[in-house]
Amino acid sequence: MSNTLEAVQILEKKLNNLLSNYEFLKNENEILLQNATNLQHKLLEKEQQLVNQKKEYDLLKIAKTIEGSNIDTKDTKLKINSLIREIDKCIIQLQE
């Protein structure tokens, strides 16, 4: 009888231990998921900042070229031609 009682107590102890570990891991998982979400949000913000800064840099390069600087003139001409082609496409779409 005492062996059965001891076995039940050991089983109960192990079950409580498992439940405790489960709750701990569940909470830790929630925290990690929140951290992952926050990091993804920050990454998206940084990517958007990078895109905006690249656009700003390209505009500054164009402005410097227009000022008379010989550096990056070819790139600026290509960019202007690209913009003109985009505008032409928009005009064609509006006319249809």
Give the model confidence (pLDDT) of 35-52 as tens digits: 999 999 999 999 999 999
pLDDT score at 96? 72
For the chain, what is the domain count?
A: 1
Q: Are 73 and 64 in contact (CB under 8 A)?
A: no
Predicted structure pTM score: 0.52
Compare 16 and 61 and report the one with higher pLDDT.
Answer: 16
Domain span at 56: 2-95
**Is residue 31 within 8 Å of 42, Cβ to Cβ?**
no
Separation in Å, CA 45 to CA 52, 56, 83? 11, 16, 27
